[in-house]
Amino acid sequence: MATTEFNTGILEAGLIPLSMQGEWFTWHNCNTSARSLWKLLDRILVNDRWLARFPTSSYHSLTPRTSDHSPLVLHGDTQQHNGGMFRFDNYLAQSPEFIPNVQNIWHHEVVGISMYAVTRKLKALKPVFRIQRRNKGDLMMNVQLAKGFLDEAQLLVSCDRQMSTSYSWNIVVESFMLKRQNSNKSCCNKELRCSG
């Protein structure tokens, strides 16, 4: 009686068993005598929406290891993507036409639930942002130019630092030489005074 009600509930819910590979029986009572029982207890049930989205999906029933139930491994096909991700670059917001473009699309009336309206509006914004990105110029070229300017600036700073260090070292050497000369002169003057 309970099995009949369970199967009726499955049918009323519109569920059907997914195609299976591997071991047919998914449960064993682990009895090695003549009273050994094998049953098809474990199944994966799906609805028509699942099959429409994953038409080639199936599952594999493995040999039981530590349990009396067989492990079930679901094999799904790659999910169909309806378009790519929504890409937004922060620099686009700096553009003067950013706010008017977004407002223009956002004020369009879309019939449907709120989330559907949002996704439709985001899809409408994609080509607008793509055009703005193209107008911004070749990003890779701009990055390479900026890197070139940075390398030149670092080279100038490095050369300037070396020149300023060299200049400072020259001042130290000159002041040392002047002090040395002055000390030699004072020694000579002392000797002259002493001898004279």
pLDDT score, position 53: 83
Query: Residue 45 falls within a domain, yes or no?
Result: yes
The structure tokens listed for 141 are: 């070229």
Looking at residue 25, the DSSP 8-state letter turns out to be -
Same domain, 11 and 55: yes
Whether residue 188 is predicted with pLDDT greater than 50 in this model: the reply is no
Same structural domain, 6 and 71: yes
Residue 10: inside a domain, yes or no?
Answer: yes
Query: Cα(24)–Cα(104) distance, rounded to whole angstroms?
Result: 59
Domain-embedded: residue 144 = no
Domain that holds residue 103: 90-136
**Residue 75 is inside which H or E element, if any?**
strand 72-75
Residue burial 122-143, b: 16+ Cβ < 10 Å; e: rest: eeebeebbeebeeeeeeeeeee
Residue-wise pLDDT for 17-75, tens only, equals 888 887 777 777 777 777 778 787 788 888 888 888 888 888 888 877 778 888 888 88
The number of distinct structural domains making up the chain is: 2
User: Is residue 183, in this structure, part of any structural domain at all?
Assistant: no
3-class secondary-structure state, position 17: strand
Q: Mark whether 9 and 37 lie in a shared domain.
A: yes
Query: pLDDT (tens digit, 9 = 90+) per residue, 150-166?
Result: 777 777 777 766 665 55
Whether residues 21 and 62 fall in one domain: yes
Answer whether 21's CB lies under 8 Å from 60's CB: yes
* 159 found inside a domain: no
Residue 12 in domain: yes
Residue 187, pLDDT score: 46
Q: Is the pTM of this model over 0.75?
A: no
Average pLDDT value for residue range 10-19: 86
Residue 17: CB atoms within 10 A of its CB come to 12
